[in-house]
Amino acid sequence: MFNLVIFGPPGSGKGTQSENIINKYGLVHLSTGDLLRAEKNSGSELGNKIKELIDNGNLVPDSLVEEMVKKNVANNKEAAGFIFDGFPRTTTQAAWLDNMLAEQGQSVTQMLALDVDDNELRNRILERGKVSGRADDQDENIINNRIAVYHKQTQPVIDFYSAQGKFVSVDGIGSLDDVFGRISDAMDKAMQN
């Protein structure tokens, strides 16, 4: 199995590049942002709680996201591997993922982090907000909060995978094809090992 963690700040291109990775490598895409938005839009009580957090640019509790990931991994027993997109976002989630995969004799193969500076992120998210309809993409204060939350709570996840020798940084600036070329090179290298 190839289990990829695609990592990076909000707006770094994780979702877009995940589509390219699926097309080339046939992995199952597991985006916690997509799963949470689906729950949010369902109008359930849980969905309303999630909405409050997401729309303000804050993280949803670890246990809730972990539950969703577990369910979706269990539902894809035949997968050749997963792309974890937007997960793990805290070191607690990263440790949980290691344990969950270990229970099935699996592990994270590689963590690819898309490197994009904060100014570029702000511009990209505002552009996306014009078409995405996402409330959290349309307000500059909320975008700034998401970037701050990333630096404070999510960036430490890099050290977690670095310590395991699984962290690879990819320059996320350039055309979609250029960035995907860098991602493919890194994945192909990991597959040869």
Residues that bind ligand ADP (CB under 6 A): 10-11, 14, 32-33, 36, 53-54, 57-60, 65, 86-87, 89, 93, 136, 146
Least CB distance to ligand ADP at residue 94 (A): 10
Of the pair 88, 110, the CB lying nearest ligand ADP is at: 88
Least CB distance to ligand ADP at residue 149 (A): 7
Least CB distance to ligand ADP at residue 56 (A): 8
Of the pair 57, 172, the CB lying nearest ligand ADP is at: 57
Q: Pick from 124, 118, 173: which is nearest to 144 by CA?
A: 118
Estimate to the nearest angstrom the gap between the alpha carbon of 123 and the chain centroid: 19
Least CB distance to ligand ADP at residue 65 (A): 4
Distance CA 16, CA 33 (A): 13
Strand partners of residue 112: 6, 168
The pairing of strands 82-85 and 28-31 is parallel
Of the pair 75, 192, the CB lying nearest ligand ADP is at: 75
How far apart, in Å, are the Cα atoms of 162 and each of 15, 64, 118, 158, 159? 22, 26, 22, 6, 5
| Closest chain position to ligand ADP (CB) | 33
Distance CA 62, CA 51 (A): 15
Of the pair 41, 188, the CB lying nearest ligand ADP is at: 41
Of the pair 31, 189, the CB lying nearest ligand ADP is at: 31
- Name the DSSP letter for residue 113: E
